[in-house]
């Protein structure tokens, strides 16, 4: 494994240079990877593996929309697409990509197919880390591993198709066969990862839950909404408020920040913007720091996991979720976003 220095700290990273696809194919040549669940990660990981020449089958409830999607993506019922339990029986590596709540519901059935020497792989440390809440306690004679792409399943597939890769975390919870390391790294390469960063299940789930509730999705939407509201309350038009809050960020500045970092961005804007951004970033940090500290504490004590399990296991979960998503979709800010996106050259 390569040691890479990140800001002064050395970390273990697997590169495609040291573990090329041919090696992954060799490690997995006698394995059947059963991808269970065909939601967001399922399609990305399974199609990338199929294109990489790995023996993959899908397990999915057959009366669901996801089953139809799998058929549309070229998986063949009875050959490469099965009911969940049938796929679990056939797989030697069971890649559990059910929603985290469904993993709890399906666990006892899945467990019965985890015979000696198989591997159970997750894309999240959730089920294992919060085992008191999930009841997911694998048998001692199977490998328990994790490959967690650090991004959406949609991006995983898009970046693979464009010849790039999405970075993933990987971890080993249990090495029963002595092959857990080569299995997890081979899977990581096969699903289309660029680089594989070593972690453990607990660190993966704590950082992932913090990130998605924080700057990746929760905090960013909160900051967008607050700034948009202040601009609107002060008489700015919707388009002006949206452009100055979201559109310029995602279309102009984020790609530059992604390429060069925020330090470069600060050095490459007007001196006026520089002064203001340098003066204001610390008050924003100080205002949000207690919220992030509370968020991490809620993640670490298991409250966030419990909230997610409770709401996602309710029978009316889908209706309640749809209502909340509708509220966001129908907000003036995101309705303005639809109109603004139509003006982009590629949408004209
Ligand atoms: N969404 C992402 O891009 C992403 C990124 C990294 C990691 N992950 C992790 O990957 C795993 C899969 O996440 P996802 O977002 O792809 O899942 P998802 O919410 O899209 O659901 C996956 C599948 O679960 C099935 N399912 C839901 N309820 C079920 C039930 N009661 N019984 C049987 N099947 C049921 C659905 O039909 C669907 O095919 C999770 O552990 C998640 O935390 C997701
Ligand atoms: C794509 C995310 C937010 O990174 C993932 O963690 C998820 O749960 O969907
Ligand atoms: Mg997540
Ligand atoms: Mg994530």
Which domains, from first to last, does the chain contain? 2-199 (3.40.50.720), 211-347 (1.10.1040.10)
* Residues having CB within 6 Å of any atom of ligand 2: 151-152, 208, 212, 216
The CB of 148 under 6 Å from ligand 1? The reply is yes
**Which residues contact residue 89 at a Cβ distance below 8 angstroms, ignoring those fewer than 6 apart?**
113
**In this predicted structure, what is the pLDDT of residue 161?**
97
> Which residue has its alpha carbon closest to ligand 1 atom 31?
102
pTM of the model: 0.96
Tokens of 194: 């660029």
Q: Which atom of ligand 2 is nearest to the CA of 217?
A: 3
Tens of pLDDT, residue by residue over 114-134, are: 999 999 999 999 999 999 999
**Could you give the residue numbers annotated as active site?**
124
Alpha-carbon distance values, 100 to 37, 84, 328 (Å): 11, 15, 23
Both tokens assigned to 282: 């610390």
Ligand nearest to the CA of 65: 1
For 191-207, the pLDDT digits (tens) are 999 999 999 999 999 99
Ion ligand 3: residues, CB within 5 A, are 208, 212
Is position 240 annotated in a ligand binding site?
A: no
Residue 290's contacts (CB-CB under 8 Å, 6 or more residues apart) are none
58's torsion region: left (phi>0), alpha (psi -120 to 50) or beta?
Answer: beta
Residue 27: per-residue pLDDT:
98
Structure-block tokens of residue 217: 């999705």
pLDDT at 71 over 90: yes
As a whole number, mean pLDDT of residues 272-301 equals 98
Edge-to-edge order in the sheet of strand 9-14: 2-6, 9-14, 193-198, 166-174, 143-149, 119-122, 93-96, 33-36, 56-59, 81-82
Could you tell me what percent of the chain has a pLDDT over 70?
100
212 known member of a binding site: yes
User: How far does the centroid of ligand 1 lie from the alpha carbon of residue 150, in Å?
Assistant: 15
Query: Could you give the 3-state DSSP secondary structure of residue 194?
Result: strand
Average pLDDT, the chain: 97
Q: Is the pLDDT of residue 348 over 90?
A: no
Does ligand 1 lie within 6 Å of residue 99's CB atom? yes
CA dist., res. 93 & res. 113, Å (int):
11
CA atoms within 13 A of residue 74's CA, in its CB half-sphere: 7
24: left (phi over 0), alpha (psi -120 to 50) or beta: alpha
212 CA distance to ligand 2 centroid (A)? 6
């Amino acid at each position: 494994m390569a040691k890479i220095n990140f800001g002064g700290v050395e970390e273990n990273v697997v590169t495609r240079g040291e573990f090329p696809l041919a090696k992954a194919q060799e490690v997995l040549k006698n394995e059947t990877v059963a991808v269970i669940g065909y939601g967001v990660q399922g399609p990305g990981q399974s199609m990338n593996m199929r294109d990489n020449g790995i023996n993959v089958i899908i397990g999915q409830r057959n009366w669901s929309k996801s089953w139809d999607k799998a058929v549309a993506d070229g998986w063949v019922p009875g050959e490469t697409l099965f009911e969940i339990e049938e796929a679990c029986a056939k797989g030697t590596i069971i890649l559990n990509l059910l929603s985290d709540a469904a993993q709890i519901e399906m666990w006892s059935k899945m467990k019965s197919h985890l015979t000696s020497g198989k591997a159970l792989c997750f894309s999240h440390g959730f089920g294992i880390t919060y085992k008191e809440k999930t009841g997911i306690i694998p048998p001692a004679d199977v490998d328990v591993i994790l490959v967690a792409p650090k991004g959406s399943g949609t991006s995983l597939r898009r970046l693979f198709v464009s010849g790039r890769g999405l970075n993933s975390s990987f971890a080993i919870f249990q090495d029963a066969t002595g092959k857990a390391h080569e299995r997890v790294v081979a899977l990581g390469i096969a699903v289309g990862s660029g680089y594989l960063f070593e972690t453990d299940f607990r660190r993966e789930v704590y950082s992932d839950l913090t990130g998605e509730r924080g700057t990746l999705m929760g905090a960013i939407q909160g900051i967008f909404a607050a700034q948009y509201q202040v601009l609107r309350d002060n008489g700015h038009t919707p388009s002006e408020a949206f452009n100055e809050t979201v559109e310029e960020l995602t279309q102009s500045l984020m790609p530059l920040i992604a390429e060069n970092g925020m330090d470069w961005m600060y050095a490459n804007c007007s001196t006026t913007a520089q002064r203001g951004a340098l003066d204001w970033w610390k008050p924003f940090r100080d205002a949000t720091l207690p919220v992030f500290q509370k968020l991490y504490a809620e993640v670490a004590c298991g409250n966030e996991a419990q909230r997610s399990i409770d709401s996602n296991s309710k029978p009316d979960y889908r209706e309640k979720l749809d209502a909340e998503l509708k509220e966001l979709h129908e907000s003036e800010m995101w309705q303005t976003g639809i109109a603004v996106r139509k003006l982009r050259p590629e949408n004209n």
